[in-house]
Amino acid sequence: MVEIWKPPVMFRPSPSHCRFLPADEVIYEQYTAPVPAIEVTEASEIKSRYQLYLAQAGLLAMGNLIKVLGKDLENCPHFFLDFENAQPTEAETAVWNQVNAVLEEAQTILAELQSYTGAGLEIREAIQNPNDLQLQEKAWNAVCPLVAKLKRFYEFSLRLENALRSLLEALTSPPYAPTQHLEREQALAKQFAEILHFTLSFDEFKMTNPAIQNDFSYYRRTLSRNRINNLQLEAESDVNNEMANRMSLFYAEATPMLKTLSNATTKFVSENKTLPIEDTTDCLSTMACVCRVMLETPEYRSRFTNTETLLFCMRVMVGVIILYDHVHPVGAFAKTSKIDMKGCIKVLKDQPSTSTEGLLNALRYTTRHLNDDTTSKQIRALLHAKGGVHSAAGRKLPLLTDVNNVRESLQGSGCDDDDEEEEEEEKDIILKPSRTESIENSSVHLLDF
């Protein structure tokens, strides 16, 4: 007969809708009792304390309503991905060399884009004085080299697309699972991260520089009017009408590089019929999870020798979330998503706003499924809230990994554990357990985010 563990009298099982994280423990008064992590969907109904005890002991199936997430199940892999020092193994060398040739040019592309000033003054003068041929020629001479530069950016996106395809083939090929690939082939995982980092940087510079669209629009209008002499024909041979059409579609996107990666990933999945789509999306969700764990785990953070690596890790996490949201049928924000969106958002909000506001805006405005009906209101509210992580009552909470600070914060504010209004509005309340090995003289706290 199985002996069922019974908690102390002070244990309070509410709320009925709880979500625990893997490898977590629930805090009880005077000692910590480790129990398996479980997930209860909002359709679940725990009718008695005894049922909750059984569920925590992993003995109650409750049909498909409870999913047991034991410590030994890799719901979220915990390993260090060395973004600073990963070197290719012999098996990785061929793909690594191919991708590295593309990435070497990436920094030059970013530098040119960041310093792009445009020909706004010349274009304005030409438009205001349509009969002044000298001003028309001056504007054309200013725009042509800029359009040639924009063409190089577009052509680089095609090379980046091929590089991404090579990485996806390497990181999703059987017999290994995505987690095994990322852990075994860290040099390729690092290159994948560098592509995402470049993509977010490129799109950020492009979105904040309206001169790109203005210059290219003027160039196309001038071509169509046929009002320039031989210089126009010379330039047209470099960027002909067909190339101009493709470039126009590229730069019309708010985030052109992200769109390129999204299309490349979707094409990769559709062309590899024998490869389940889950293998590709699991690679993305695993990368997001690994980045989040490294950011919120002091042991992993301390291994980075450069503070810039932390920002790099955050950008990669956001980039892979956005890519996942564009590629996955239901996106990153649905309850069935394999990405812990609450955890990722909280990690970003815990950092200085100067470092992360742009990344939070990327999640707000460049994802595809954020405003879907399947997205939790709580996630939307958390993402759109300004400042740090706050509870429903407006209290600013400390880092979730710091249990002592969490306890002091809640005791000092005199919070009420039973927030009926919050539970009515959002049936997805988190009972936050401790990540420490042993906490003495502690009591159960319900943290409402």
pTM of the model: 0.67
pLDDT tens string 310-330: 889 999 999 999 999 998 989
pLDDT over 50 at 170, yes or no: yes
The predicted pLDDT at position 352 comes to 82
What mean pLDDT value characterizes the chain?
A: 73
pLDDT over 60 at 43, yes or no: no
- 82 pLDDT tier (thresholds 50, 70, 90): confident
Average pLDDT over residues 55-77: 37
- 78 pLDDT tier (thresholds 50, 70, 90): low
- 407 pLDDT tier (thresholds 50, 70, 90): very low
From 202-211, 245-254, 434-443, the region with the lowest mean pLDDT: 434-443
pLDDT tens string 149-169: 999 999 999 999 999 999 998
pLDDT tens string 189-237: 999 999 999 999 999 999 999 999 999 999 988 888 754 555 554 555 5
From 71-80, 122-131, 173-182, the region with the lowest mean pLDDT: 71-80
Q: Which of 447, 327, 323 is nearest to 389 (CA)?
A: 447
pLDDT over 90 at 102, yes or no: yes
Alpha carbons 379 and 385: distance in angstroms, whole number: 10
Average pLDDT over residues 4-19: 42
The predicted pLDDT at position 448 comes to 34
From 8-22, 164-178, 193-207, 339-353, the region with the lowest mean pLDDT: 8-22
Q: Which of 105, 283, 265, 311 is nearest to 189 (CA)?
A: 283
Please name the residues in contact with 280: beta carbons below 8 A apart, sequence gap of 6 or more.
Answer: 168, 172, 265, 268, 269, 327
Average pLDDT over residues 110-116: 95
Average pLDDT over residues 350-375: 88
**Under 8 Å between Cβ of 216 and 235:** no
pLDDT over 80 at 92, yes or no: yes
**Under 8 Å between Cβ of 62 and 44:** yes
Cα torsion for 383, 389, 391, 393, to the nearest 10°?
Answer: -90
- 387 pLDDT tier (thresholds 50, 70, 90): low
The predicted pLDDT at position 41 comes to 34
pLDDT over 60 at 443, yes or no: no
The predicted pLDDT at position 298 comes to 85
**Under 8 Å between Cβ of 417 and 405:** no
pLDDT over 80 at 430, yes or no: no
80 CB neighbour count, 10 Å cutoff: 15
pLDDT over 60 at 401, yes or no: no
- 61 pLDDT tier (thresholds 50, 70, 90): very low
The predicted pLDDT at position 74 comes to 42
pLDDT more than 90, % of the chain: 36
372 CB neighbour count, 10 Å cutoff: 13
Q: Which of 283, 262, 111, 81 is nearest to 187 (CA)?
A: 81
Read off the tokens for 254.
Answer: 């708010």
Phi, psi (deg, nearest 5) at residue 26: -95, 135
The predicted pLDDT at position 46 comes to 37
Contacts of range 260-264, beta carbons closer than 8 Å, 24 or more positions apart: 260/157, 260/158, 260/160, 260/161, 260/199, 261/160, 261/161, 261/164, 261/195, 261/196, 261/199, 261/323, 262/323, 262/326, 262/327, 263/161, 264/161, 264/164, 264/165
5 CB neighbour count, 10 Å cutoff: 12
Q: What one-character-per-residue DSSP string does 264-307 give?
A: HHHHHHHH-TTS-HHHHHHHHHHHHHHHHHHHH-HHHHTT-S-H
The predicted pLDDT at position 237 comes to 54
Q: What one-character-per-residue DSSP string does 95-132 give?
A: HHHHHHHHHHHHHHHHHHHHT----HHHHHHHHH-TT-
Alpha carbons 196 and 312: distance in angstroms, whole number: 10
Q: Which of 418, 421, 413 is nearest to 444 (CA)?
A: 418
pLDDT over 70 at 116, yes or no: yes
- 23 pLDDT tier (thresholds 50, 70, 90): very low
Please name the residues in contact with 241: beta carbons below 8 A apart, sequence gap of 6 or more.
Answer: 223
